[in-house]
Amino acid sequence: MGAGKRSLVATAVGLVCAVTVLSGAGTAFADPTPTLPPAPALPPGATLPPGAVLPPSVTLPPNRDLVAVQKRLEKLYHDAAVATDAYNAAEEQTERQSTEIVELAQEIAKGQKRLAELKDRAGAAARAQYRSGGLPPRARLWLSDDPQAWLDGVSRIRQGEKATEGLLAELTRTQQDLELYAQDATAQWQRLDTSRKARAAAQKKIKQQITAAENLESQLAKEEKERLAALEREAAARAQTSWLGSGILDDLDGNATAQGRKAVEFATAQVGKPYEWGAEGPGTFDCSGLTSAAWAAAGIPIPRTSQEQWAQLPHVDIKDMRPGDLIVYFDDASHIAMYVGDGKIVHAPRPGRTVTITGAGSMRILGVVRPGA
């Protein structure tokens, strides 16, 4: 969120807080705060300071088993990806709710101005009656001995009564609208507060998982790190070979749309840029940040997170896949990539890696979605 928008939100929040005394507390309906991972057990007799949370275990497995290390790293980075999706969703909610609070504050300001104008009109009418001696218009009319004045007065009284009724009705409606706006603002502020807490909790979990993974890798010797990287490449190659061997691409229709080509051109142009959780360019990306930025460059906005891209975009069969489609990975839709043709994807893999092109079958595929369908 930019500095100008934050300033506008702060101003709006001040106005909302001043007005929400008209209403009672609302109810928050934001998504629940993400659950932090279970912490390892403390040593006997040890205690944890209040508010402190132990990071996941980063001890090397017995005999420095690199296969076990690889699996542990995959788990840590997977959990970081899940937390990143939760962070991105909370960030998106925060921005949307902040915008809604600004809009509510603007409506409240307009309502207050209108209410002041109506009260001035009502006050003017009361002052006019006071200056006339305090007699109601009908009483002054009956005291008149001019027939024509009497007839004209009847017409004016009827018009005046209608105007007064309209004024009172508008006063009532404006006050009711202000009360509703105040109630909505209270509820929206509570939702915003919940989203901020969810974002902070997800951010904490991301940092914990990434730190644990980095600490684990730091315990390896140079030769072990090289062997671990080789194991990762071998596992990805085996998965890709198995996927291609299934014949899944034999009848693949690879004709991309014009917008799909633009999305692919954008995504592949980012190859080599670092992964960064929560980032959507231009210098760094996370997985869904890359896919959403690529399709935005093609003129089609899509949801920000991999889970929402999977949930909201139209699903297509793998056999109907074409360049520009998005391949969603793992049962929890925690990773997403863009298909570029010839059995390959472009994606932002994980912390410590850069945007790269690799085999589409190198990870466990959940399904395929198509923006702009």
pLDDT in tens, 125-154: 656 555 555 545 554 545 455 555 544 554
How many structural domains does the chain have?
A: 2
Task: Compute the distance between CA of residue 25 and CA of residue 42 in angstroms, rounded to an integer.
Answer: 41
pLDDT of residue 258: 93
Amino acid, single-letter form, for residue 50: P
pLDDT of residue 255: 82
Output the pTM of the full model.
0.63
Q: Confirm whether 15 is domain-assigned.
A: no
**Of the listed 17, 78, 315, 347, which one is catalytic?**
347
Q: Are residues 360 and 337 in contact, defined by beta-carbon separation less than 8 angstroms?
A: yes
Boundary-marking domain end, from 217, 239, 260: 217
Q: Do 192 and 270 share a domain, yes or no?
A: no
Handedness of CA 238, 244, 248, 252 (dihedral sign): positive
pLDDT of residue 187: 83
Eight-class DSSP state of 282 = S
Q: Do 126 and 260 share a domain, yes or no?
A: no
Residue 335 a catalytic site member: yes
Q: Do 209 and 117 share a domain, yes or no?
A: yes
Q: Confirm whether 192 is domain-assigned.
A: yes
Q: Quick one: tokens of 64? A: 């420095």
pLDDT of residue 285: 97
Q: Do 211 and 256 share a domain, yes or no?
A: no
pLDDT of residue 261: 93
Task: Compute the distance between CA of residue 102 and CA of residue 304 in angstroms, rounded to an integer.
Answer: 22
Q: Do 208 and 295 share a domain, yes or no?
A: no
Task: Compute the distance between CA of residue 95 and CA of residue 101 in angstroms, rounded to an integer.
Answer: 10
Q: Do 179 and 326 share a domain, yes or no?
A: no
Other beta carbons within 10 Å of 102: 19
Q: Do 206 and 263 share a domain, yes or no?
A: no
Q: Do 77 and 196 share a domain, yes or no?
A: yes
pLDDT of residue 315: 97
pLDDT of residue 15: 43
Q: Do 346 and 300 share a domain, yes or no?
A: yes
Based on DSSP, count helices (H) and strands (E) in the chain, helices before strands. 8, 6
Task: Compute the distance between CA of residue 171 and CA of residue 157 in angstroms, rounded to an integer.
Answer: 21
Q: Confirm whether 52 is domain-assigned.
A: no
Q: Confirm whether 232 is domain-assigned.
A: no
Tens place of pLDDT per residue across the chain (373 aa) = 444 444 434 444 444 444 433 333 332 323 333 333 344 444 444 444 444 444 565 667 666 788 888 888 889 989 999 999 889 888 888 888 888 888 877 877 877 777 777 777 766 665 655 555 554 555 454 545 555 554 455 455 555 556 566 667 777 777 777 777 777 778 888 888 888 888 889 889 999 999 988 888 888 888 988 998 898 889 889 888 888 887 877 766 678 899 999 999 999 999 999 999 999 999 999 999 999 999 999 999 999 999 999 999 999 999 899 999 999 999 999 999 999 998 999 999 999 999 999 999 999 999 999 998 7
Q: What is the CATH number of the domain that holds 71?
A: 1.10.287
pLDDT of residue 326: 98
Task: Compute the distance between CA of residue 322 and CA of residue 340 in angstroms, rounded to an integer.
Answer: 8
Residue 78 a catalytic site member: no
pLDDT of residue 56: 61
Q: Do 280 and 133 share a domain, yes or no?
A: no
Q: Which domain holds residue 291?
A: 249-369
Residue 315 a catalytic site member: no
